[in-house]
Structure 1
Amino acid sequence: MNIAVLVVRTCGGFSSYNSTYFTNADYPSPITAPTTCVFTIVRATPTTCQVRIDFLNFVLAQPNATGVCNADALIVTGGGGTVPVICGDNTGQHIYVDFYNSNNIILTITTSAGDLSRIWSFLVTQIACDCPTRAPAGCLQFYNTTTGTVNSFNYGVGSNVIDSTTLLPGTRQLVNQNYGICVNMLPGYCSIQWSSNGFMVSGIPNLGFDALTNGDCFTDFVVIANPSYPNGTPVNADRFCGTSFNTVTTSLKPFVLYVVTDGNEVNDVANTGFSLSFMQIACPNNLFG
């Protein structure tokens, strides 16, 4: 009989198991003291190419009023590609990180003083080089479903809280984000539709900065290549920002949405980021794309 082994590691630990939980000390109790917590992901075999890290529970302090993770942060090093610095509320999010040569992947979580409760529980899954669930190059996030919802990191509409006495008037949108969100085109589907559940990216509420495209989007934006409106009219733009998002479709493969924010959120008031739903659209006459 095979017996499943639950592998759990915390600060200072390491693991080369295919599946490992990485948590804060004394999880599920949160922590309030300042800490630097380091976890090392060791490549399981030479034929292991990637890890998926699911943020099962992940709450750190919010960024400061200009979108910088100056109080708490998750920093990923050692892997191929660049993972942006992440903080705030990110429960339910995930990332993919490639192994780079024989290097280990290092997760470092830093927290500062303050009475906000920080908590995290990550599921780290190692992925073989020939595994069909391996994310393509350039995809920090990867979805293998016909429908789903993608959120920017720290997306939300609540107050920005450093601790119980410090509320920030600024952005929840994080600075220096530059990554791809990919959706695997499944058999029988030829295009994808994107629609909004909430969108405020480099916009200023109540000043008429509604759904903006291309020339208006030069600091923070999402990119959807070759989009058209549901009625088939071309958008003639691929960058989207502002305080709303109009539903668009695209048949350009692969299905990728790019996220870009610059290093300056000083004049971006109350940005919440985005929550977008996707739906793959079946090919006409059941012809595969």
Structure 2
Amino acid sequence: VCFSTGDCINMGGSTNGNCASGFGVCCVFSTNTCGSTVTQNVSFIRNPGFPSALNSPQTCSFTIQRLTTNICQLRLDFVKLSTAEASDGTCGISSGGAVGTGDEITVTSASGFNPPGIGGLCGDNMDGQHMYVEFGSGNSITWSIVVGSDTSVNRLWNIKTSQIPCNSNFKAPNGCVQYFTGPSGTISSYNRAGQRLPVGSTYQNCIRREDGKCAIEYRSNFFTLGAIATSQVAACTAAGITIPGAVGTTTNTFCQTKFNAINAQTVNGVIRSEEIPFRLGVAVQDAGNANLEGFELTYNQIPC
């Protein structure tokens, strides 16, 4: 954010280079103090001691205060985010299986939905991922992490918080936890690098329809939502993704290890949808399933 040097310092920021042709400074707002309240837009919340890692058991929370009534959403960009893995995908449970001994991130607001779902979030190397949270009727959102008892694991977080006005082009549609723009891109499950889906995740990935585009096609870079060595269409009880309006099938739910609109295929395919708006849902129900490793899909919007 561009401010004068004096304004930046008075507001508690730190300078990082020049802006406005040298008339201002790039002002960075950050905190690594657990229990603190963020009152500036485009602020970073970091683990105590950052950039050094944290490995001592504790609970650390940050409250992001809504700046104005015209703010509808908070976008969290995971510049750096690594926690302990959940051995069976259930965040908050360590490899030993005891409740409360593992790591768990929760994001709470007055909207009635706390993404990514009832199971919280955990995993190794979620750098580059993002999350949208609705303020709802409340004036704050709380980001909290419970650091579990495994002191051999290094935890790091550096998360950019951006408040999104209600009339912004970058406001996500209601109910969208991830929001992608542009004619093409990549959509990955949370904890894709750790290859273990957080149990209880139930959310929507949304893609903004670009001008002149009437359909979308998805291709798989990685797809493991089960152990069967073929595609499966419907009856995805452990975990699956949904693509509303998927062409070539009477259902819209997909799982197992091949990404294909046709059931029982041994190769990946291309799944196309012409249903507007473009959405891709995720649902993970099954704990203890080592085959729920996640997905990485590329999308391309198709001209009308």
- Range class of TM-score, shorter chain: 0.7 to 0.9
- Counterpart residue number, 2:122: 87
TM-score (norm 2): 0.81
What does 1:209-224 correspond to in 2, within 5 Å? 209-214=229-234, 216-224=235-243
Distance 2:89 2:180 in 1: 30
Amino acid at match of 2:218: W
Task: Please point out which of 74, 92, 116 is paired with 2:153.
Answer: 116
Q: Offset at 1:91?
A: 1.2
CA contact (8 A) 2:205 2:279 kept: yes
Distance 1:130 1:66 in 2: 37
- Counterpart residue number, 2:162: 125
What does 1:29-40 correspond to in 2, within 5 Å? 29-40=52-63
Amino acid at match of 2:25: I
- Counterpart residue number, 2:13: none
Distance 1:98 1:240 in 2: 28
- Counterpart residue number, 1:165: none
CA contact (8 A) 1:79 1:97 kept: no
Map Cα deviations across residues 17-44 of structure 1 (whole Å, 9 max, x no partner).
1210000011111111112111000001
Q: Which runs of 5+ in 2 are unaligned?
A: 1-22, 94-101, 261-269
Q: How many residues align?
A: 258
Map Cα deviations across residues 67-105 of structure 1 (whole Å, 9 max, x no partner).
343211110112422313100021111000111223310
What SS does the corresponding residue of 1:7 show, helix, strand or coil?
A: strand
Of residues 25-34 and 10-19 in structure 1, the stretch that sits farther from structure 2 once superposed is 10-19
1:188–1:117 Cα change, 3 Å:
same
CA contact (8 A) 1:196 1:275 kept: yes
- Counterpart residue number, 1:69: 92
1:178 aligns with 2:202: yes
CA contact (8 A) 1:62 1:69 kept: no
Computed over aligned residues only, the root mean square deviation of the Cα atoms, in angstroms, reads 1.5
- Counterpart residue number, 1:17: 40
CA contact (8 A) 1:69 1:174 kept: no
- Counterpart residue number, 2:15: none
What does 1:1-289 correspond to in 2, within 5 Å? 1-10=23-32, 11-70=34-93, 71-80=102-111, 81-83=113-115, 84=117, 85-89=120-124, 90-113=126-149, 114-156=151-193, 172-201=196-225, 203-204=226-227, 208-214=228-234, 216-228=235-247, 234-246=248-260, 247-262=270-285, 264-266=286-288, 268-283=289-304
TM-score (norm 1): 0.85
CA contact (8 A) 1:23 1:122 kept: yes
Query: Kindly, what percent of the aligned residue pairs are identical?
Result: 30
What SS does the corresponding residue of 1:5 show, helix, strand or coil?
A: strand
Distance 1:241 1:126 in 2: 35
Map Cα deviations across residues 142-194 of structure 1 (whole Å, 9 max, x no partner).
00111111111111366xxxxxxxxxxxxx12111110000000101111001
Amino acid at match of 2:211: P
Distance 1:157 1:48 in 2: 34
Q: Which runs of 5+ in 1 are unaligned?
A: 159-171, 229-233, 284-289
Amino acid at match of 2:182: T
1:68–1:12 Cα change, 3 Å:
closer
Distance 2:199 2:191 in 1: 11
